[in-house]
Amino acid sequence: MPPGMTQTVFRYLAWGLILGLFIITDTVSALRPHTLVSPNIDRFAALFVVGAVFSLAYPKHLLPILLGLLTVVIGFELIQKLLSGRHGYVKDMFVKGAGCCAGVFAATALRRTLSAMSGRPDRSNS
């Protein structure tokens, strides 16, 4: 798959994940998926994936990605405050924010490492 095509796929995936997170985060609790791990691990892992995919989708825009994702996390928690039967906690914002940041940094490091190993320059900084 050509590099531009891969980036396009990651962009659609990234925005689809944000939409999915909004639906899962800000719907009634009965509709939320349940896993066998703790909610904090779920939160961190979900936002790790979102951060990683956004990093791969927009490799030249890491700071705006981080700021945008952190804003989304805060927004999702604030929206929960408005919904009956839901809650928004500062602790949850920190867990989700840490997941976003870790995902962005991990994907960026992986992309740069693979680029260096292949001998091709990482053009995300140009």
SS3 26: coil
Task: Give the tens place of pLDDT for each residue, 103-117.
Answer: 999 999 998 898 888
Reported pTM = 0.84
AA identity, residue 101? C
CB atoms inside a 10 Å sphere around CB 121: 10
Closest CA to 25 of 64, 60, 75, 63: 75
Segment 67-112, tens digit of pLDDT: 999 999 999 888 888 877 777 788 999 999 999 999 999 999 998 8
Alpha-carbon span 111 to 115, nearest angstrom: 6
With both helix axes pointing from N to C terminus, report the angle between 62-82 and 3-25 in degrees, rounded to the nearest 10: 20
